[in-house]
Amino acid sequence: MNTIKIQEHASNPQKTVGIYCHIPFCLKKCAYCDFASFSCLGEEKITDYFKALYQEMKNFAAVNIDSVRPVVDTIYFGGGTPSSVAAEHIEKSLLLLREVFVIKDEAEITIEINPGTLTKEKASHYKKAGINRISIGLQAWQDFLLKILGRVHSQSDFIKSMEILKSTGFENISVDVMVGLPGQKLFDVIETLTALMVFSPTHLSCYSLILEPGTPMANWVEAGQLNLPDEDEEREMHWAVDAFLKEQGYAHYEISSYCKPGYQSRHNLKYWELASYLGFGLGAHGYYNGRRYGNTTKLSQYIDRLTAGESPGSLEPLMEAQEMMSEWMFLGLRKLAGIREADFIARFGQSYFVSYGEVIKPLIADGLLQWDGVDLKLTPRGQDFANQVFMAFL
């Protein structure tokens, strides 16, 4: 069995891990999407994919688990649109994960859904399978913006999906919202947030549109067929979102994330805190015992390799201390609480001022970072130029 073997690494002891499962199927690919996802594939191909996914999980367990099975405290089904496939595929995935790992009773188990793909029956299956957190992709309240984005759902589809989730007993619901869309105005953003408050979501992810090269939307903008808000307008949208949600009792805990008290995305925090997680599925990545690995993004290759008993991906070299420190900084600074100096010292044996003093001091002088004697964090101005801050630590 040619499967990735991940060696233990003393500087990154395992306590609990998260698991990400990629479900690369959609009803239709959105105009801005460059993820590893596919639409209009038949059930036979989908079933073949899940057989390969199950095999990857089994192979990892056989090669990497000796006498002690890793304890898992977060599971995340992302995509693609996981809710576009039969619920039985998700149920079987969870059953297998419970066989090969120790899933904590209080584990956060999330599934991404898109409006228009959820039924009462699917929601009930998710609930019975142990899923306890939903991430639903609204993006915008206005149907004209949804059409520009190439979304398959409408405002009414979103309302119906929320009603299904509430009636099925789901309480922990995150909603995705996008700003900086072609044709979007500030009052559209406020209208979206105001409408969402009726449903009392526990978490909101508020992203700026990123135009990925080669996507239809990037091509339309380049050709002058669509116009994006300028930087000042987008910044105004960001701060309007921030003010509105804080007034509604949400905490801004990560650049793009807001939550009610106690409802942070525990899975996403693993990414930002350089914690261990395993990735299964097409194009999935993982970080385990100090090493990153990634799977192929070619669907047929993924299925064929696993069918042949081969690994679907490749293992990166063991992370050196300098690389690990760099990632700790630019990922950790995504959190609005910042990075505690004591945590950095505990992990690396020295202050980040020793490692990055010549980087940090100019950023403080420019008003992009602030230091209170305990934590290093982004200033409001630093949030506006966050990518500039992150790049300084690479």
Element containing residue 381 per DSSP (H, E): helix 380-384
Q: Which amino acid is at 311?
A: S
Identify whether residues 74 and 191 lie together within a single domain. yes
Q: Does 263 lie in the same domain as 379?
A: no
Return the pLDDT at 239. 96
With vertex at residue 386, the alpha carbon angle to CA 196 and CA 371, rounded to the nearest 5 degrees, is 105
4 belongs to a structural domain: no
SS3 of residue 283 by DSSP:
coil
Asked whether residue 104 is domain-assigned, the answer is yes
Give the angle subtended at the CA of 252 by the CAs of 244 and 34, to the nearest 5°: 95
Domain that holds residue 355: 339-394
Of the residues 272, 292, 321, which one is the last residue of a structural domain? 272
Tell how strand 71-79 and strand 102-113 pair up. parallel
Q: Same domain, yes or no, for 250 and 347?
A: no
Burial (CB count within 10 angstroms: exposed 0-12, middle 13-18, buried 19+), residue 385: middle
Classify the phi-psi angles of 152: left when phi > 0, otherwise alpha if psi is within -120 to 50, otherwise beta.
Answer: alpha
* Span 133-188, pLDDT tens digits: 999 999 999 999 999 998 889 999 999 999 999 999 999 999 999 999 999 999 99
Report pLDDT for 33: 80
Q: Are residues 379 and 245 part of one domain?
A: no
Residues 257 and 351 in one domain: no
Tell me: do 260 and 349 sit in the same domain.
no
Torsion sign (Cα): 124, 75, 35, 296: negative
Could you tell me the pTM of the whole model? 0.93
CA–CA separation, 257 vs 259, rounded Å? Answer: 7
- Regarding whether 175 and 81 lie in a shared domain, the answer is yes
- In the listed set 249, 272, 295, which residue is the last one of a domain according to the structure? 272
Whole-number Å distance between alpha carbons of 337 and 334: 9
Q: Does 136 lie in the same domain as 256?
A: yes
Do 26 and 107 fall into the same domain? yes
pLDDT in tens, 8-62: 443 344 579 999 999 999 888 887 887 777 776 788 999 999 999 999 999 988 8
222 in any annotated domain:
yes
In-domain check, residue 320: no
**Residue 304 domain flag:** no
Q: How many angstroms separate the CA atoms of 383 and 376, rounded?
A: 13
385 and 256 housed in the same domain: no
Count of structural domains, the chain: 2
Can you give the CATH number for the domain in which 166 is found? 3.20.20.70
Question: How large is the C-alpha radius of gyration of the chain?
Answer: 21
Residue 130, amino acid? G
